[in-house]
Amino acid sequence: MRTGDYKQTYGELVALIDSPPVWLWSTVLLLALIAAPFVLNSYALSFVMIILITVTGALGLNILTGYTGLISLGHVGFLVTGAYAYAVLVSKYHMPPLVGFLGAGLVPALASLIVGAPSLRLKGLYLAITTLAFSFIINTVILEMRWLTNGARGIQMPRPEILGISFDSDPAFTYLCLAVASLTLFATLNIRRSRVGRAFVAIRDNDTAARVMGINLHAYKLFAFVTSAFITGIAGALYGIYLSFVSVEGFPFLLSIEALAILIVGGLGSALGAVLGTILIVLLPEATRIVFSLFSAQMDATFTTGAQELKSMLYGLVIILFLRFQPRGLVGAWHDIKRAWVHWPLRY
């Protein structure tokens, strides 16, 4: 049992994994996820895929909102640009999927540079406003550029074949999602503990102090925004492949809200929080449906007819309740429970 934190070097303070039990549990989780496609039926497996894809997107937004403290209401815009970039490169111009994924990251990153450069000079909610505007503009742009995007008809997105390995079947595609999600997780954890990540957190906590310490605020905010858009774009490409079809309707504005709900529910600024939040938010509508259907068949019927509305209502409620009663999210709740367990019966 751990009896305390014994850290003697700076290296230990920023270590990725600081204790053997965390190693153990991470390995167990990874093995469980690798075994999942063999054990689960296809319905449950689709949830695993959605969770892995959503984790990637949520981690992307976490860099911006969690680490740097900037709100984006238009991340769905980067999802849809990423998906379209991949679809155009791979389905239309028959490029290899790896180039497609690179494009799915770079095109949204470029878009974020254009949106971010003017709006990040200012403090406050201006980024939320411009990103909101961006997510609506990009939909119109996609619909208008018919020669490239097929307009409202959308583009088919077949499952890719990378380096000779086909990801056509559900289990194989789950592994692809798992690989991307784990890579993103490592990338964001490493960003967080690097000089850049510490600069992000400094900007979030006190921007004036950060400026005094010599952090170039505009450059670092822009960097956070571009990185976030890059990762979100790749998540968008994966989501498009999962849907096997990309169109503007496949990426409703609700996804932006869902992403913010995930971060708030999980706990802002924590990679673990993004993962926990994703699991809760993705499974919440399904769990509610099951609970309601226990009461009556009629309620179950309401759920199928008004699924989208109930989903958004749940997200709204979860956002408000968590902000009101548990602003540190699930991660905060977990820390409180651990502390209570160790110190019981004393308060602290």
Tokens coding 266: 């999980």
Burial of 106 (0-12, 13-18, 19+ CB in 10 A): middle
Q: Where are the alpha helices (DSSP H) in the chain?
A: 10-13, 20-39, 42-61, 75-87, 97-119, 126-144, 146-149, 170-193, 195-205, 207-212, 217-243, 254-266, 271-295, 297-305, 307-325, 329-343
Scan residues 263-292 and list those touching another protein (CB under 8 A): 264
* Residue type (1 letter), 298: Q
Instruction: Pick one of 28, 29, 323, 340: the residue that binds another protein (CB under 8 A).
Output: 323
DSSP 268: T
Pick one of 14, 137, 201, 284: the residue that binds another protein (CB under 8 A).
137
Name which of 21 and 118 has its Cβ closer to another protein.
Answer: 118
State the binding string over 48-87 for another protein (x if CB under 8 A, else -). Answer: ---------------------x-x-x--------------
Rounded-to-integer distance, Cα 127 and Cα 71, Å: 7
Binding-residue total with another protein (CB under 8 A):
48
* Shortest separation between residue 21's beta carbon and another protein, angstroms: 33
214 binds another protein (CB under 8 A): no
Told to check if 143 binds another protein by CB under 8 A, we report yes
Residue range at the interface with another protein (CB under 8 A); choices 141-149, 169-177, 243-251, 282-290: 141-149
Q: Does 21 bind another protein (CB under 8 A)?
A: no
Is residue 347 at the binding interface for another protein, with CB under 8 A as the rule? no
Nearer to another protein, 171 or 252 (CB): 252
Q: Is 346 left (phi over 0), alpha (psi -120 to 50) or beta?
A: beta
